[in-house]
Chains A and B, each alone.
Chain A
Amino acid sequence: MIGARALRIEDPVLLRGAGRFAADVIRPGELHMRVVRSPIAHGRIRSVDVTPALLLDGVVAAWTHADIAELPAIGFRLTPLADLLPYRQPVLARRIVRYVGEPVAVVFATSAYLAEDGAELVRLDLDPLPAHLDADAEPTAWLDAEQATWAAGLDVELPAQDSQATAFTVEYGDVDAAFAAPGPGWRVIETDARIGRHTGVPMECRGLAAVYDEAEQQLIVDGAAKVPFWNREAVAAMCGLPPRQVQVRETHVGGGFGPRGELYPEDVLVTLAAVRLRRPIKWIEDRQEHLVATNHSRGQHHRLRALVRPDGEIEALDAAFVLDQGAYVRTHGATVASLTASMLPGPYRIPHFRARAQVRLTHKTPAGTYRSPGRYEGTFARERLVDRIAGELGLDPVEVRERNFIPAGAMPYERPIQAMGTHLVHDSGDYALLRAKVWEKFDLDGVRRSVAERRAAGELAGFGFAFFVEKSGIGPYEGARVSVDSSGAVTVTCGASSVGQGVDTVLAQVAAEVLGIAHDTIRVVRGRTDQFEYGRGAFATRLAVMAGSAVANAARALAGKARRVAAHTLGVPVEDLGLADGRVLVTGDPARALTLAEIARLLDPSGAAELGESPGLTAEGWFHSDHMTYPYGLHAAVVRIDPGTGRPHVERFIVGYDVGRALNPTLVEGQIAGGVAQGLGGALYEEFRYAEDGTPLCTTFMDYLIPTALEIPPIETLITEDAPSPINPLGVKGAGEGGTTAVAAAVAAAVDDALGRPNAITSVPIHPAQVRRLLG
Chain B
Amino acid sequence: MTSAIPLRLYVNGDRYEIAVEPRRTLADALREDCGLTGTHLGCEHGVCGACTVLVDGQPVRSCLMFAVQAEDSSVRTVEGLAPDEERLHPVQQAFWENHGLQCGFCTPGFLVLVAGYLEEHPDAEEAELREVLSSNLCRCTGYQNILTATMCAARAMRGEELP
Q: With A and B bound together, what is the CA distance between A517 and B63 in angstroms?
A: 44
Q: Are A500 and B103 neighbours in the complex by a CB distance under 8 Å?
A: yes
Q: From residue 72 to 106 of chain B, which have CB atoms closer than 8 A to chain A?
A: 77-79, 81-82, 88, 92, 95-97, 99, 101-106
Q: With A and B bound together, what is the CA distance between A402 and B38 in angstroms?
A: 51
Q: With A and B bound together, what is the CA distance between A502 and B31 in angstroms?
A: 26
Q: Are B143 and A254 neighbours in the complex by a CB distance under 8 Å?
A: no
Q: Are A677 and B47 neighbours in the complex by a CB distance under 8 Å?
A: no
Interface residue SS majority, chain B: loop
Q: Are B143 and A678 neighbours in the complex by a CB distance under 8 Å?
A: no
Tell me, yes or no, whether A702 is within 8 Å of chain B by CB. yes
Q: With A and B bound together, what is the CA distance between A547 and B104 in angstroms?
A: 22
Tell me, yes or no, whether A23 is within 8 Å of chain B by CB. yes
Q: With A and B bound together, what is the CA distance between A203 and B42 in angstroms?
A: 6
Determine which of B21, B47, B92, B139 lies in contact with A255 in the assembled complex, contact meaning CB atoms within 8 Å.
B139
A198 vs chain B, min Cβ distance (A): 12
Q: Are B108 and A500 neighbours in the complex by a CB distance under 8 Å?
A: no
A-side contacts of B133, CB under 8 Å: 708-709
Determine which of A16, A203, A288, A714 lies in contact with B79 in the assembled complex, contact meaning CB atoms within 8 Å.
A16
Residue of A nearest to B137 (CB): A706
Question: Assuming the A-B contacts A203-B48, A203-B50, are A499 and B103 also in contact, with contact meaning beta carbons closer than 8 angstroms in the complex?
Answer: yes
Q: With A and B bound together, what is the CA distance between A113 and B32 in angstroms?
A: 13
Q: With A and B bound together, what is the CA distance between A739 and B142 in angstroms?
A: 10
Q: What per-residue 1/0 map shows which CB atoms of B140-159 lie under 8 Å from chain A?
A: 11111111000000000000
Residue of B nearest to A286 (CB): B44
Question: Assuming the A-B contacts A15-B101, A499-B103, are A708 and B137 also in contact, with contact meaning beta carbons closer than 8 angstroms in the complex?
Answer: yes
A250 vs chain B, min Cβ distance (A): 12
A-side contacts of B106, CB under 8 Å: 203, 254
A316 vs chain B, min Cβ distance (A): 38
Residue of B nearest to A716 (CB): B144
A-side contacts of B144, CB under 8 Å: 673, 712, 714-715
Task: Give the interface residue-count category, chain A.
Answer: 35 or more
A9 vs chain B, min Cβ distance (A): 10
Q: With A and B bound together, what is the CA distance between A18 and B138 in angstroms?
A: 19
Q: Are A709 and B103 neighbours in the complex by a CB distance under 8 Å?
A: no
A210 vs chain B, min Cβ distance (A): 18
Residue of A nearest to B1 (CB): A117
Q: Are A252 and B141 neighbours in the complex by a CB distance under 8 Å?
A: no
A-side contacts of B8, CB under 8 Å: none
Q: Are A17 and B105 neighbours in the complex by a CB distance under 8 Å?
A: no
Determine which of B44, B82, B103, B111 lies in contact with A252 in the assembled complex, contact meaning CB atoms within 8 Å.
B103
Question: Assuming the A-B contacts A16-B82, A16-B92, A500-B140, are A204 and B105 also in contact, with contact meaning beta carbons closer than 8 angstroms in the complex?
Answer: yes
Q: Are B139 and A670 neighbours in the complex by a CB distance under 8 Å?
A: no
Question: Assuming the A-B contacts A12-B88, A16-B82, A17-B77, are A203 and B103 also in contact, with contact meaning beta carbons closer than 8 angstroms in the complex?
Answer: yes
Q: Are B45 and A700 neighbours in the complex by a CB distance under 8 Å?
A: yes
Q: With A and B bound together, what is the CA distance between A12 and B95 in angstroms?
A: 10
Q: What per-residue 1/0 map shows which CB atoms of B93-136 lie under 8 Å from chain A?
A: 00111010111111110010000000000000000001101101
Q: Are B134 and A500 neighbours in the complex by a CB distance under 8 Å?
A: no
Q: Are A502 and B130 neighbours in the complex by a CB distance under 8 Å?
A: no
B157 vs chain A, min Cβ distance (A): 16
Q: Are A710 and B134 neighbours in the complex by a CB distance under 8 Å?
A: yes
Q: Are A709 and B143 neighbours in the complex by a CB distance under 8 Å?
A: yes
A-side contacts of B15, CB under 8 Å: none
Question: Assuming the A-B contacts A204-B40, A701-B43, are A17 and B137 also in contact, with contact meaning beta carbons closer than 8 angstroms in the complex?
Answer: no
Q: Are A15 and B107 neighbours in the complex by a CB distance under 8 Å?
A: yes
Question: Assuming the A-B contacts A8-B96, A16-B38, A500-B103, are A203 and B88 also in contact, with contact meaning beta carbons closer than 8 angstroms in the complex?
Answer: no
Q: Are B102 and A202 neighbours in the complex by a CB distance under 8 Å?
A: no
Q: Are A706 and B103 neighbours in the complex by a CB distance under 8 Å?
A: no
Question: Assuming the A-B contacts A15-B107, A21-B105, A674-B142, are A667 and B36 also in contact, with contact meaning beta carbons closer than 8 angstroms in the complex?
Answer: no
A119 vs chain B, min Cβ distance (A): 14
Q: Are B104 and A500 neighbours in the complex by a CB distance under 8 Å?
A: yes
Q: Are A666 and B42 neighbours in the complex by a CB distance under 8 Å?
A: no
Q: Are A715 and B104 neighbours in the complex by a CB distance under 8 Å?
A: no
Q: What per-residue 1/0 map shows which CB atoms of A300-335 lie under 8 Å from chain B?
A: 000000000000000000000000000000000000
Q: With A and B bound together, what is the CA distance between A20 and B38 in angstroms?
A: 8
Tell me, yes or no, whether A774 is within 8 Å of chain B by CB. no
Q: Are A255 and B130 neighbours in the complex by a CB distance under 8 Å?
A: no
Q: With A and B bound together, what is the CA distance between A12 and B133 in angstroms?
A: 21
Residue of B nearest to A16 (CB): B82
B135 vs chain A, min Cβ distance (A): 8
Q: Are B97 and A113 neighbours in the complex by a CB distance under 8 Å?
A: no
Q: From residue 10 to 41 of chain B, which have CB atoms closer than 8 A to chain A?
A: 21, 23-24, 28, 31-32, 36-41
Q: With A and B bound together, what is the CA distance between A26 and B23 in angstroms?
A: 20
Tell me, yes or no, whether A24 is within 8 Å of chain B by CB. yes
Tell me, yes or no, whether A10 is within 8 Å of chain B by CB. yes
Q: What per-residue 1/0 map shows which CB atoms of A11-31 lie under 8 Å from chain B?
A: 110111111110110100000
A-side contacts of B31, CB under 8 Å: 23-24
Q: Are A710 and B45 neighbours in the complex by a CB distance under 8 Å?
A: no
Question: Assuming the A-B contacts A23-B41, A255-B105, are A113 and B143 also in contact, with contact meaning beta carbons closer than 8 angstroms in the complex?
Answer: no
Q: Are A204 and B108 neighbours in the complex by a CB distance under 8 Å?
A: no
Q: Are B143 and A15 neighbours in the complex by a CB distance under 8 Å?
A: no
Tell me, yes or no, whether A676 is within 8 Å of chain B by CB. yes
Q: With A and B bound together, what is the CA distance between A120 and B11 in angstroms?
A: 34
A-side contacts of B96, CB under 8 Å: 7-8, 11-12, 15
Residue of A nearest to B24 (CB): A113
Q: From residue 497 to 544 of chain A, which have CB atoms closer than 8 A to chain B?
A: 499-502
A-side contacts of B42, CB under 8 Å: 203-205, 254, 287
Determine which of B41, B45, B79 lies in contact with A701 in the assembled complex, contact meaning CB atoms within 8 Å.
B45
Residue of A nearest to B103 (CB): A500
Question: Assuming the A-B contacts A8-B99, A203-B50, A666-B99, are A19 and B104 also in contact, with contact meaning beta carbons closer than 8 angstroms in the complex?
Answer: yes
Interface pairs (15), CB distance under 8 Å? A7-B96, A14-B104, A16-B88, A17-B36, A17-B79, A19-B38, A23-B31, A113-B23, A255-B105, A256-B103, A257-B139, A287-B45, A666-B99, A678-B139, A709-B130
8 additional A-B pairs beyond A21-B37, A667-B99, beta carbons within 8 Å, are A15-B78, A18-B38, A202-B103, A203-B105, A500-B105, A670-B140, A674-B139, A701-B47
Q: 4 closest A-B pairs (Cβ-Cβ)?
A: A17-B38, A500-B103, A254-B105, A14-B104
Residues of B within 8 A of A (CB): 1, 21, 23-24, 28, 31-32, 36-45, 47-48, 50, 77-79, 81-82, 88, 92, 95-97, 99, 101-108, 111, 130-131, 133-134, 136-147
